[in-house]
Structure 1
């Protein structure tokens, strides 16, 4: 994907924006949905292990629903990405943005309808499912772009690279700015999401997340450099 990684490409900036959105969604899910991650599945696997052995405060079903919904979202994204891989990237990413934004707004609608910062029952599972499908769809899309150090959701390898590839470790320090940017945007998104949730309720960060995904992608695709971008 040489064209998409060229200096003039808007794609890295879009992926940084999506990293900020991840922070918003994680803040909403962890703080409002009972310690459930809907953007990052590693935490759910760990928490599911806690729940299986009966650890207080860790019910099994929310984590199972999040993992299953994430897989459901990733499945059509993988299919769509392969089908559109030979076509201009703007069409593929616009479809992905529309899907993600619609799901996040639907989750925000459910949250607004409940009027609770921490929904329970069917509303809880609906919001978990909607946000996890959205993030599964996004993760599968970004994975196929193959842009180094901008996965938009997972930071373990990014943080490892900051140290392991640094000049202190005998490396070149390649992609340092991009890696630090990825960490900072998720951090800032989480802080903003937590603030919005505490002040305005669960629907606010989810609604903002959907708006940023759609508007940011449309702005990226309107950039002249986006016309010739391809995946792969």
Structure 2
């Protein structure tokens, strides 16, 4: 029995859901370390804040009144949203005033941004095609931000010659997830899922290259002081 393109796409979507769950779960070792040490050390909250907005936009994209028949997009991003909020809560608890203010400000901005997107598309656009286009572009942009957010510490990695604080499991999961969802998008052409995840896979590949290049950090006595590290941020 020959499987149809829709059947194959559904199977790839299921695999994509599994890989996306692995992606969303990949920061767990980082947060176990944060809880154990009672400190966020040099880790940044930006990847998790970017992932939160990414999940919100893709959930909205998959709604029946925006882009019908996208249940697999909605399910995994709903799970991802819950997990990102858990990570952010832990980070907020163990970080200092500087990051707490940033986290609150960014989350507030994300809620306002989502509300504006919903209001604008629901009140101003009246066809599936127009809503899909606008929300798809927004979701793609935030998806690329999510994939590229660990690169916010790229300069620090190069400066210190250590990839210690570039999340390895997150980068691997991002690469595999991007490839899988790009294939999903090609089977029934979806330019927004394809673009976001194709670029995401490329950005994750850059992160993996940095991890390989700087996999052996210099001895501790050769690492820059905390003051020097702060100047890098």
TM-score, normalised by the number of residues in structure 2: 0.38
TM-score, normalised by the number of residues in structure 1: 0.38
Q: Which has the larger radius of gyration?
A: 2
Q: Does 1 or 2 have the higher relative contact order (CA < 8 Å, sep 6+)?
A: 1
